Amino acid sequence: MHIHILGICGTFMGGIAAIAKQSGYRVTGCDANVYPPMSTQLMAQGIELIEGWGIEQLDLKPDVFVIGNVVSRGNPLMEEILNRNLPYASGPQWLAETLLRDKWVLAVAGTHGKTTTSSMLAWILEYAGLNPGFLIGGVPQNFGISARITESPFFVIEADEYDTAFFDKRSKFVHYRPRTAILNNLEFDHADIFADLAAIELQFHHLVRTVPSNGLIVCNGREDSLRRVIQRGGWTPVEKFGSDDGWNIAADNRVTFNGVTQGMLQWELMGEHNRMNALAALAAARHAGVPVAQGLAALAEFSNVKRRMEVRGVVNGITVYDDFAHHPTAIDTTVAGLRHRVGKARILAVLEPRSNTMKLGVMKDALPGSLKDADLVFCYAGNLGWDARGALAPLGDKAVVKDDLDELIAAIAAAAKSGDHILVMSNGGFGGIHEKLLKRL
């Protein structure tokens, strides 16, 4: 069978391409920007890539066109697919109906921590010898790849609440039909497609309604939003984490379940958010048959995910980190985690408000509070539709805003001193700032 993927160079669609190829499908694809690293990864797997949306691609005559949510009406190739009534499906739908149909799907949903928690869960299952498949929106360093398919019945997927495709405005995760579902947390995000928090809660309840009665929902017990989701009704057992009537973790990293000690979490990761991620992963893995002691042993060898507090280099005593944080809550927990690790050393926070929600300025008033633990703050305001200087004014002299990336790098380099920690936060490439900054330092 031959599939042709429109929007193949996105992380999710590229992951589908990889596991479809591993499963024996002929895979081709196209995108507006075919460039490394995704292009080289895909071509190395024998996947033919085409630049752009030319209608000559119809001559490939695939069995089905798989459509990524980057594709919209007006796209010339998509318009011709519609005009000729050719078979097409969204990425999540095709994945669910073909590759996941006979799998025990473990889905990780939430505003924050999906990638890290999915990676923890996949690694615990791997450590236990269960050889899981997975599709994750980042690269777990224990595996070195973001997606694979195996003969194992277990499949871990990062379950995104973003909409599926231009023709299917349901969240992606409603397609996956998980047997084990983690609801990690839930805040307002994706202001480009959701009107308010209630709209996202509705989508999460749609997910809850797809989990079978012999499945398990692992739910953050500290979140009012998720409490409202669960109270809408369901048919599936629920285990809470972060609360005494479920999974919890003490200050000394002692893990308990319903008040009974399960063991100690011993690892190098920072922050309360990662401790919560660990609880969720342990609970989900236990549902799949992995004893908690084995799960804890696996987490002791967990190497985190690329772009999650990843050290990109140390120059003249100055450490430069890369982190994916882009929502104020994630920024807050990331900076706080680094503060806990480095004590009184200076933290220079470098921010690119790049996500659709941040570009709209919906979260701008929360930014100063999220950066409170940093000593200096540098913000790149290129192409923003709102006043970053005004938004960060409560930080006073410790905030520097630049519209030019080179000027921003120069300002950071001028301020940095030996012993400092430079924390770069963006959900994109940020113009290659890490290497440019290291070179400048």
All domains of the chain in start order, with CATH: 2-89 (3.40.50.720), 100-299 (3.40.1190.10), 310-440 (3.90.190.20)
Predicted confidence at residue 98, as pLDDT, reads 96
Task: Report how far apart, in Å, the C-alpha atoms of 283 and of each of 152, 156, 220, 256, 335 are.
Answer: 20, 14, 11, 11, 27
The pLDDT of residue 36 = 67
Cβ-Cβ contacts under 8 Å for 82 (sequence gap 6 or more): none
**Cα angle, residue 313 at apex, residues 312 and 315 outer, rounded to 5°:** 155
Question: From first to last of its 441 residues, what are the pLDDT tens digits of the chain?
Answer: 999 999 999 889 999 999 999 999 999 999 998 766 677 878 888 999 999 999 999 999 999 999 999 999 999 999 999 999 999 999 999 999 999 999 999 999 998 889 999 999 999 999 999 999 999 988 888 898 889 999 999 999 999 988 999 999 999 999 999 999 999 988 877 667 777 889 999 999 999 999 999 999 999 999 999 999 999 999 999 999 999 899 999 989 999 999 999 999 998 787 788 899 999 999 999 999 999 999 999 999 998 776 777 889 999 999 999 988 778 888 888 898 889 888 999 999 999 987 766 767 777 888 899 899 899 999 998 877 788 889 899 999 999 999 999 999 999 999 999 999 999 998 777 888 999 999 999
| Neighbouring C-beta atoms of residue 432, cutoff 10 Å | 10
Please report the pLDDT score of residue 34 as a whole number.
77
**How crowded is residue 141: how many other Cβ atoms within 10 Å of its Cβ?**
15
- Cα separation, 185 vs 180, in Å, equals 16
CB 359 within 8 A of CB 432: no
Measured distance CA(298)–CA(243) in Å, rounded: 23
